[in-house]
Structure 1
Amino acid sequence: MRAAPGASRLAGAVALTQLIGWGSTYSIPAVLARPMAEALGMPLAVAFGASSAFLLAMAGISPWLGPAFERRGARPLLALGSLTLAAGLGLLAASPNPAVYFLAWLVMGAGGAMALSNGANVLLAERLGAGARRAISAAMLVSGLASTCSFPVMLWLEPELGWRGTLAVYALANLLVCAPLHWIVPGPRPTPAPAPAPAPVVPPGEAEAPPPARPAPAVAAAERARFAWLALAMSLAGMISWGLGVALPETLAALGAETRTAVLLAGVVGVAQVAARGVDFALRAPWPSLSLAILAAAGMPVAFATLGLGGGSVASAVLFACIYGAGTGLLSVCRATLPLELFDPGAYARMVTRLALPMNLAFAAAGPLFGWLLSVFGAAGPVWAGFLGALGALAALLRLRALR
Structure 2
Amino acid sequence: MDNTIPRSRGWLIPSLGLTQIVAWGSMFYAYGVLMQPMQDELGLSKPAIVGAYSVALLISGLLSTAAGSIIDRIGGRLLMGSGALLAAVMLACLSRVHNATELYLVWAGIGVAMSATLYQPAFAVITQVHGSNYRRAITHLTLFGGFASTVFWPLTQTLLQHVGWREVWLIYAAANLLICLPIHASLPKGRGPAHGTPPARTETRSRNLTAVMREPVFYLVTAAVTLNALVFAAMSLHMIPVLQAHGISAANAAWVGALIGPMQVLGRVVQATVGKRASTRQVGMAAISLLPLSLLLLFASEQWLPVYVVFAALYGIGNGVMTIVRGALPAELYGRAAYGAISGAMATPVQIAVAAGPFVASLLYSAGNGYPGTLLALTGISAAGAILFGYVIRHLRQQSMLLSNEGTST
State the TM-score, normalizing by the size of structure 2. 0.87
User: Once the two structures are superposed, what CA deviation does each residue of 1:65-104 show, in whole Å capped at 9, x if it has no partner?
Assistant: 2332222211210111111111111111111211111111
Residue 296 (structure 1) shift: 1.5
Tell me the amino acid that sits aligned with residue 165 of structure 1.
E
Larger Rg: 1
337, 362, 377: which one aligns with 1:346 = 337
Are 1:290 and 2:252 matched, yes or no? no
Question: In the alignment, which residue of structure 1 is the partner of 2:319?
Answer: 328
Match of 2:262, SS?
helix
Unaligned runs of at least 5 residues, structure 2:
397-410
Tell me how far apart the structure 2 counterparts of residues 298 and 229 of structure 1 sit (CA, whole Å).
16
Tell me the amino acid that sits aligned with residue 6 of structure 2.
P
Question: In the alignment, which residue of structure 1 is the partner of 2:176?
Answer: 174
- Checking the alignment, whether the CA contact within 8 Å between 2:75 and 2:188 is kept in structure 1 is no
Are 1:23 and 2:25 matched, yes or no? yes
Tell me the amino acid that sits aligned with residue 383 of structure 2.
L
Residue 313 (structure 1) shift: 3.1
Tell me how far apart the structure 2 counterparts of residues 301 and 33 of structure 1 sit (CA, whole Å).
30
Tell me how far apart the structure 1 counterparts of residues 365 and 303 of structure 2 sit (CA, whole Å).
15
Tell me the amino acid that sits aligned with residue 34 of structure 1.
Q
Match of 1:345, SS?
coil
- Checking the alignment, whether the CA contact within 8 Å between 1:63 and 1:357 is kept in structure 2 is yes
Q: How many residues align?
A: 385
Tell me how far apart the structure 2 counterparts of residues 367 and 177 of structure 1 sit (CA, whole Å).
32
Tell me how far apart the structure 1 counterparts of residues 276 and 269 of structure 2 sit (CA, whole Å).
14
Residues 223 and 285 from structure 1, CA distance in 2 versus in 1: closer, same or farther, beyond 3 angstroms?
farther
Residue 52 (structure 1) shift: 0.8
Residue 46 (structure 1) shift: 2.0
Question: In the alignment, which residue of structure 2 is the partner of 1:11?
Answer: 13
Residues 77 and 248 from structure 1, CA distance in 2 versus in 1: closer, same or farther, beyond 3 angstroms?
same
Residues 263 and 194 from structure 1, CA distance in 2 versus in 1: closer, same or farther, beyond 3 angstroms?
closer
Runs of 4+ in 1 over 6 A off after TM superposition: 186-189, 192-196
- Checking the alignment, whether the CA contact within 8 Å between 2:86 and 2:110 is kept in structure 1 is yes
1:99-114 alignment to 2 at 5 Å? 99-114=101-116
Match of 1:25, SS?
helix
CA RMSD of aligned residues (A): 2.6
Tell me how far apart the structure 2 counterparts of residues 195 and 141 of structure 1 sit (CA, whole Å).
30
Residue 283 (structure 1) shift: 4.4
- Checking the alignment, whether the CA contact within 8 Å between 1:20 and 1:174 is kept in structure 2 is yes
Unaligned runs of at least 5 residues, structure 1:
197-212
Residues 394 and 162 from structure 1, CA distance in 2 versus in 1: closer, same or farther, beyond 3 angstroms?
same
Are 1:364 and 2:355 matched, yes or no? yes
Match of 2:321, SS?
helix
Question: In the alignment, which residue of structure 1 is the partner of 2:246?
Answer: 255
Once the two structures are overlaid, the 10-residue window that deviates more, 170-179 or 376-385, is 376-385
Residue 38 (structure 1) shift: 1.6
Residues 299 and 191 from structure 1, CA distance in 2 versus in 1: closer, same or farther, beyond 3 angstroms?
closer
Tell me the amino acid that sits aligned with residue 228 of structure 1.
Y
- Checking the alignment, whether the CA contact within 8 Å between 1:233 and 1:396 is kept in structure 2 is yes
Tell me how far apart the structure 1 counterparts of residues 268 and 175 of structure 2 sit (CA, whole Å).
26
Residue 222 (structure 1) shift: 8.7
Residue 332 (structure 1) shift: 1.6
Once the two structures are overlaid, the 10-residue window that deviates more, 381-390 or 337-346, is 381-390
Tell me how far apart the structure 1 counterparts of residues 158 and 260 of structure 2 sit (CA, whole Å).
24
Are 1:279 and 2:281 matched, yes or no? no
Residue 191 (structure 1) shift: 3.9
- Checking the alignment, whether the CA contact within 8 Å between 1:303 and 1:324 is kept in structure 2 is yes
1:19-98 alignment to 2 at 5 Å? 19-98=21-100
Tell me how far apart the structure 2 counterparts of residues 329 and 169 of structure 1 sit (CA, whole Å).
28
Residues 265 and 102 from structure 1, CA distance in 2 versus in 1: closer, same or farther, beyond 3 angstroms?
same
110, 125, 128: which one aligns with 2:127 = 125
Residues 270 and 342 from structure 1, CA distance in 2 versus in 1: closer, same or farther, beyond 3 angstroms?
same
Tell me how far apart the structure 1 counterparts of residues 113 and 139 of structure 2 sit (CA, whole Å).
23
Residues 221 and 332 from structure 1, CA distance in 2 versus in 1: closer, same or farther, beyond 3 angstroms?
closer
Once the two structures are overlaid, the 10-residue window that deviates more, 175-184 or 302-311, is 302-311
Once the two structures are overlaid, the 10-residue window that deviates more, 115-124 or 303-312, is 303-312
Are 1:390 and 2:382 matched, yes or no? yes
Residues 195 and 353 from structure 1, CA distance in 2 versus in 1: closer, same or farther, beyond 3 angstroms?
closer
User: Once the two structures are superposed, what CA deviation does each residue of 1:345-386 show, in whole Å capped at 9, x if it has no partner?
Assistant: 111101111112211111111011123334553231332122
Tell me how far apart the structure 1 counterparts of residues 222 and 365 of structure 2 sit (CA, whole Å).
26
- Checking the alignment, whether the CA contact within 8 Å between 2:87 and 2:176 is kept in structure 1 is yes
Tell me how far apart the structure 1 counterparts of residues 255 and 111 of structure 2 sit (CA, whole Å).
31
- Checking the alignment, whether the CA contact within 8 Å between 2:74 and 2:189 is kept in structure 1 is no
Residue 194 (structure 1) shift: 8.7
Tell me how far apart the structure 2 counterparts of residues 23 and 339 of structure 1 sit (CA, whole Å).
26
- Checking the alignment, whether the CA contact within 8 Å between 2:91 and 2:172 is kept in structure 1 is yes
Residues 304 and 252 from structure 1, CA distance in 2 versus in 1: closer, same or farther, beyond 3 angstroms?
same
Tell me how far apart the structure 2 counterparts of residues 40 and 148 of structure 1 sit (CA, whole Å).
28
- Checking the alignment, whether the CA contact within 8 Å between 2:261 and 2:316 is kept in structure 1 is yes
**Quick one: percent identity of the two aligned structures?**
27
1:212-223 alignment to 2 at 5 Å? 220=211
Question: In the alignment, which residue of structure 1 is the partner of 2:400?
Answer: none
- Checking the alignment, whether the CA contact within 8 Å between 2:284 and 2:325 is kept in structure 1 is yes
User: Once the two structures are superposed, what CA deviation does each residue of 1:230-270 show, in whole Å capped at 9, x if it has no partner?
Assistant: 21111111111111011001100010000011011111222
Tell me the amino acid that sits aligned with residue 168 of structure 2.
T
Question: In the alignment, which residue of structure 2 is the partner of 1:377?
Answer: 369
Match of 1:229, SS?
helix
Tell me how far apart the structure 1 counterparts of residues 275 and 389 of structure 2 sit (CA, whole Å).
24
Tell me the amino acid that sits aligned with residue 349 of structure 1.
G
Residues 285 and 328 from structure 1, CA distance in 2 versus in 1: closer, same or farther, beyond 3 angstroms?
closer
Residue 162 (structure 1) shift: 0.8
Residue 21 (structure 1) shift: 0.2
Tell me the amino acid that sits aligned with residue 78 of structure 1.
M
User: Once the two structures are superposed, what CA deviation does each residue of 1:124-176 show, in whole Å capped at 9, x if it has no partner?
Assistant: 01111231111111111111121111011111212322111100010111111
- Checking the alignment, whether the CA contact within 8 Å between 2:17 and 2:145 is kept in structure 1 is yes
- Checking the alignment, whether the CA contact within 8 Å between 2:74 and 2:191 is kept in structure 1 is no
Tell me the amino acid that sits aligned with residue 303 of structure 1.
S
Residue 309 (structure 1) shift: 4.2
Residues 303 and 285 from structure 1, CA distance in 2 versus in 1: closer, same or farther, beyond 3 angstroms?
closer
Match of 2:298, SS?
helix
